[in-house]
């Protein structure tokens, strides 16, 4: 039984190793069964998203993969570098027809301007690749103390540096926050979808009541306008009647005023008669006043009378 158990464990180990090997070959796309050429690239900066199996491309065409990523630290200068070893598939390189010479050495490619840079493949998934290209104008910076293989210098192009800066952004967090925001917006939309019909019904009911109120107010205003027009018509008729009466009585008032002016004229006989009457009334009033004083002093005069 023990031997059978050990055999089963060994079988599982072999299967796991085969799966791991197949994963490296298939997903890392390493051409382990073909002729390859090794090289090293020493990066002074960050290599976000770069790992074993990351693609190595030449102008976008895959020509190999990353075989190892390490960290080199110099305690004397406190400088840190990242040497990345790559495997280039020899079969990806085609030579002109009739060319029978040996394969061009890596040093010749570097002398002709072969440079490398890290290019982000997916900013959200944090995946990068190494892209190779001939850039003769780019300066070559070598690290002989760290490179045990032919070294390909790093190109410090503005595009690569910008891509690296973008790769350092927390894009995954931004994407997660965006998804959460969209979910919140969707939940809000669902809530509004459930509550809006009630709000719309209430709004329609309120609008109907407001319309009824406006109709009632409009009817009251129309009735008030009719009454106002009737009152104004009555006032117009009264004004016309008053004007006619004033016009009809104007002659009588004129005659009355003329008579009053004649009676109050100083040379008028009526004025003289009026003045004489007023003098007689004044004398009679004085006599009555004197008789009243005598009666007040001697009441017996009412019985005996005044003797001469």
Residues 6+ apart with CB under 8 A from 304: none
pLDDT score of 33: 46
Name the residue ranges covered by the structural domains of the chain.
Answer: 31-94+101-169, 264-304
**305 vs 282, higher pLDDT:** 282
What is residue 151's DSSP assignment?
Answer: B
pLDDT score of 165: 55
Give 195-218 pLDDT, tens digit per residue.
777 777 777 888 788 888 888 888
Give 45-95 pLDDT, tens digit per residue.
889 889 999 999 998 899 999 999 999 988 888 889 999 999 999 877 776
pLDDT score of 55: 95
Residue 44 pLDDT greater than 80, yes or no: yes
Beta bridge partners of 85: 40, 68
pLDDT score of 159: 46
pLDDT score of 17: 56
Residue in the structure block whose two tokens are 């009809």: 248
**Cα angle: 148, vertex 151, 155; to 5 degrees:** 150
Stretch 2-22: mean pLDDT: 60
Stretch 163-177: mean pLDDT: 60
**101 vs 64, higher pLDDT:** 64
131 by Cβ neighbours in 10 Å (0-12 / 13-18 / 19+) ranks as buried
Give 290-301 pLDDT, tens digit per residue.
777 777 777 766
pLDDT score of 23: 52
Residues 6+ apart with CB under 8 A from 47: 69, 82, 84, 118, 128
Beta bridge partners of 84: 41, 69
Give 220-277 pLDDT, tens digit per residue.
888 888 888 888 888 888 877 777 777 777 667 677 767 766 666 667 676 777 777 7
């Amino acid at each position: 039984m023990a031997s059978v158990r050990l055999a089963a464990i060994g079988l599982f180990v072999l299967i796991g190793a085969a799966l791991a090997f197949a994963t490296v070959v298939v997903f890392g796309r390493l051409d382990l069964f073909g002729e390859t050429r090794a090289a090293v690239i020493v990066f002074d900066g960050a290599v976000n998203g770069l790992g074993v199996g990351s693609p190595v491309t030449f102008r976008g065409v895959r020509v190999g993969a990353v075989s190892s990523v390490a960290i080199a630290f110099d305690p004397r200068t406190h400088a840190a570098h990242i040497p990345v070893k790559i495997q280039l598939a020899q079969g990806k390189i085609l030579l002109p027809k009739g060319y029978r010479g040996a394969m061009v050495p890596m040093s010749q490619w570097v002398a002709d301007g072969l440079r490398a840079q890290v290019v982000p493949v997916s900013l959200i998934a944090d995946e990068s690749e190494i892209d190779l290209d001939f850039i003769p104008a780019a300066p070559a910076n070598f690290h002989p103390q760290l490179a045990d293989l032919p070294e390909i210098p790093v190109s410090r192009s503005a595009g690569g540096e910008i891509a690296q800066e973008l790769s350092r952004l927390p894009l995954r967090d931004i994407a997660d926050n965006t998804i959460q925001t969209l979910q919140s917006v969707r939940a809000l939309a669902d809530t509004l979808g459930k509550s809006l019909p009630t709000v719309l019904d209430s709004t329609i009911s309120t609008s109907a009541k407001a319309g009824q109120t406006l109709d009632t107010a409009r009817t009251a205003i129309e009735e008030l306008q009719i009454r106002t027009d009737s009152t104004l018509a009555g006032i117009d008729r009264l004004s016309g009647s008053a004007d006619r009466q004033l016009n009809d009585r104007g002659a009588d008032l004129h005659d009355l005023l003329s008579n009053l002016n004649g009676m109050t004229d100083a040379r008028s006989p009526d004025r003289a008669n009026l003045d004489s009457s007023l003098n007689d009334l004044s004398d009679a009033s004085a006599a009555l006043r004197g008789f009243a004083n005598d009666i007040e002093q001697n009441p017996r005069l009412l019985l005996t009378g005044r003797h001469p």
